[in-house]
Amino acid sequence: MGLTWKQKYNKKYGFEKDKSHSLSDISKTTGYKRKGLQTIYNKGIGAYKTNPKSVRPSVKSKEQWAMARVYSAVMGGKAQKIDKSHLIKK
């Protein structure tokens, strides 16, 4: 299996491979507004709750699923296409 979106983010920005970040940290690093990242996070929580069949077996919590969506959005994954209206530069 390849790198996760979080691992790709960490590699790009020079963090340890599995370091976790807050929405504020991601906002500071990427230049995207925190409010938009929060919206994407909230959509991830909602998707986890409303479509549990789509959640990978390795995902242990709704928060983990939501952060994966944020990392995907800021790193150019599928979430970026869906959530591009929320990715607003400061």
User: Mind listing the pLDDT tens digit for each residue in 48-88?
Assistant: 999 888 888 888 899 999 999 999 999 999 999 999 999 99
Measured N-to-C along each axis, helices 62-75 and 5-13 cross at an angle, to the nearest 10 degrees, of 50
Provide the 3-class DSSP secondary structure of residue 51. Answer: coil
Whether the pLDDT of residue 29 is over 80: the answer is: yes
Give the pLDDT confidence of 1-24 residue by residue, as tens digits: 689 999 999 999 999 999 999 999
Gap between the Cα atoms of 13 and 29, Å rounded: 8
pTM equals 0.93
| 70, containing H or E segment | helix 62-75
- The residues that bridge with 32 in the sheet, in sequence order, are 89
